[in-house]
A and B are shown apart, each in its own frame.
Chain A
Amino acid sequence: MDAIFSFISLHMQMMYMVILMVFVGIEVIGHVPSVLHTPLMSGANAIHGVVIVGAILVLLKADPSNTINLILGFLAVILGTLNVVGGFVVTDRMLEMFKKKPKK
């Protein structure tokens, strides 16, 4: 029991963060016209590409003599970059179609 309590108080700020972000996520998606569901999904896809930050950290922390970690880290950064770059470019392409539209 004590372990659980101390875990919670140690990470209180992060818990606030998580709870708040859950609500923000819900709020942000409310009342979106179904025509925008797909670009929205694509945009969210790009945003979770923030996982690349973790990959960069892993590579930066790696010991230069640890070849396996270097290779895996290298791979992870490539994958993360694909997610980010691919994600934002695809979303932009989907939205290009809305560029010239008259205001509705």
Chain B
Amino acid sequence: MNITFILDIIYLLASVTFILGLKMLGNPESARKGNLIAAAGMTLAILGTIFLRKEPIAPIIYGLLFGAIAIGTIIGWMVAKKVKMTAMPQLVSLFNGMGGACAALISLIEFPEHLGSLKALATVMAGLIIGSISFSGSMIAFMKLNGNLNKDIRLPFYNAINNIILLVTVGVVGYILYTGGFSAVTMSQYPHFYMLALGALGLALFYGIMFVLPIGGADMPVVISLLNSFTGLAAAAGGFLYHNMVMLTGGILVGSAGTLLTVAMCEGMNRSLFSVIFGAFGSGGAAVAATGGKTGGSIKDISVTDTAVLMNYSKKVVIVPGYGLAVAQAQHVMHELEMLLEERGVDVKYAIHPVAGRMPGHMNVLLAESNVDYSKLVEMEDINPEFDTTDVVFIVGANDVVNPAAKNNPASPIYGMPILEVDRAKSIIVNKRSMNAGYAGIDNELFYEPKTSMLFGDAKKVVTELVAELKSM
């Protein structure tokens, strides 16, 4: 039993933990354990790779290695632990970009060694291009979700432009493979090829940026999931190159699972992947503004006191949480409100739209943080029929998920998206800070309907006042 054999077994074990861990992540009961199992397998694989070697390694290399791991661990751990829950989605994108950059760098380092060998060179170029696209795309997605990049920059014919950039990139790669993949390359030719490789790298980075830039913020989760599987593919390319089984299995697993997850997310929004990538979201924005006649009209204000009275004497109240709830960090006081109402015999439920917030599951995580009982969170398909018997719908910080334009207005960018059918309830109270548009940037005709009243103010402040009012009754 030699060292190489042990390492192979370790890689096998690690691959199993990846599969097992991912499977367990699909079930609320086992999810946490699944994550830990995969992490354990990963750690094992890393340690094995470092220590189970036959050849002696120069001390400086060990120094750099452990130094790099230490730096990455400290920074990664601190950033992941300290950042607010509402910033979780962009963190996923950030770390995804790190993985992509890692794959691209590996390919860059390996590039000169494999000139002359078509298979190896092709694998290296694949890792380079895919990793680069994933890196720059993920950085743009990060900035969009983080609020650093609010405008959707959409050049005219952006799809055509992007496709051209992609074609040029593929062309450069093809040229490199054709001229450098078949016969041995002399040292004097190295700089020429290196320049070409850097050119391909630059083009790929550019494409990544151009690919993500036009896509609307609300579609970012889908894009991140797609880039996630890209990075998986880049990792698999590395596995091909080194004949490294654990990189191959981990990479393909994520590439495949990630792609399916992307499709599943699209289904949750009732949008096709095609329309997410190649436009439509937001491009109808101008058209909607022009036909905004429907959203004109007056809105009704309501006071905290009146809202409290309305809720107190209701039999059933449904709360629709949205991103605004997370931003105001009002989930704890919301739970207080819910409990207070329940004490008074009011049935309270939360209606969770699949894309409420910034990511699927965002609202569930937020409300779970304030100990709201899991059974009170009702998915869209189940809660929609219940609106008929609901007295008050309290919409807090949600906008697009309750916008009837999704059903009525074919010109609307959100047309076709299934929404929470709150207008079936007896009365609707909307809490927002102002009349500003929501994530999709469009007006919401719900606000002008006769059954709707607007309760303006910061969610946390308003709900706290509501609780105080109710207590005084």
Contacts and interface: CB of A to CB of B under 8 A. Distances in A.
Contacts of B25: 36, 39-40, 43, 91
Contact of B109 (A46, A69, A88): A69
Determine the interface band of chain B, counting residues with CB < 8 A from chain A.
35 or more
Interface string B55-88: 0011011001101110111011101110001001
Interface stretch (B139-147, B270-278, B371-379, B463-471): B371-379
A5 interface: no
A92 B257 CA distance: 19
Given A62-B61, A79-B98, A85 B73 contact: yes
Contacts of A101: 28, 368, 374
A41 B72 contact: no
B102 interface: yes
B41 to A, nearest CB: 9
A102 B377 CA distance: 13
A82 B38 contact: no
A35 interface: yes
Contacts of B14: 50
A60 B65 contact: yes
B249 A17 contact: yes
A29 interface: yes
B74 to A, nearest CB: 9
A86 B264 contact: no
A104 B91 contact: no
Contacts of B58: 64
B244 interface: yes
A4 to B, nearest CB: 11
B405 to A, nearest CB: 23
B18 A47 contact: yes
A71 to B, nearest CB: 9
Interface centre among A51, A62, A83, A103 (most CB of B within 10 A): A51
A96 B235 CA distance: 28
Interface in A74-104: 74-104
A25 B257 contact: yes
B268 A34 contact: yes
B361 A35 contact: yes
Given A40-B26, A48-B232, A81-B69, A29 B91 contact: no
Interface stretch (B200-208, B221-229, B433-441): B221-229
Nearest to B225: A41
B168 interface: no
Contact of A37 (B53, B119, B239, B265): B265
Nearest to A17: B248
B264 A38 contact: no
A16 to B, nearest CB: 11
Contacts of A17: 245, 248-249, 252
Determine the interface band of chain A, counting residues with CB < 8 A from chain B.
35 or more
Contacts of B94: 86
B152 interface: no
Interface centre among B61, B77, B85, B244 (most CB of A within 10 A): B61
B246 A53 contact: yes
A79 B77 contact: no
Interface string A28-70: 1111111111111111111111111111111110101000011
B31 A98 contact: yes
B105 A104 contact: no
Interface stretch (B42-50, B156-164, B312-320, B442-450): B42-50
A79 B77 CA distance: 13
A35 B76 contact: no
B22 A38 contact: no
B92 A18 contact: no
B256 A26 contact: yes
Given A18-B248, A25-B252, A86 B80 contact: yes
A24 to B, nearest CB: 6
A45 to B, nearest CB: 5
Interface of B: 14, 18-19, 21-23, 25-29, 31-32, 34-36, 38-39, 42, 45-46, 49-50, 53, 57-58, 60-61, 64-65, 67-69, 71-73, 75-77, 79-81, 85, 88-89, 91-92, 94-96, 98-99, 101-103, 105-106, 108-110, 119, 221, 224-225, 228-229, 231-232, 234-236, 238-261, 264-265, 268, 352, 354, 359-362, 364-365, 368-369, 371, 373-375, 379
Q: Which 4 pairs show the lowest CB-CB distances between chains A and B?
A: A81-B72, A25-B256, A85-B76, A50-B250
Interface of A: 7, 14, 17-18, 21-26, 28-60, 62, 64, 69-70, 72-104
20 contacts: A14-B248, A24-B253, A25-B255, A28-B257, A29-B22, A36-B361, A38-B365, A45-B92, A51-B231, A53-B244, A58-B106, A59-B68, A60-B50, A73-B109, A79-B99, A83-B95, A85-B77, A86-B94, A87-B92, A92-B36
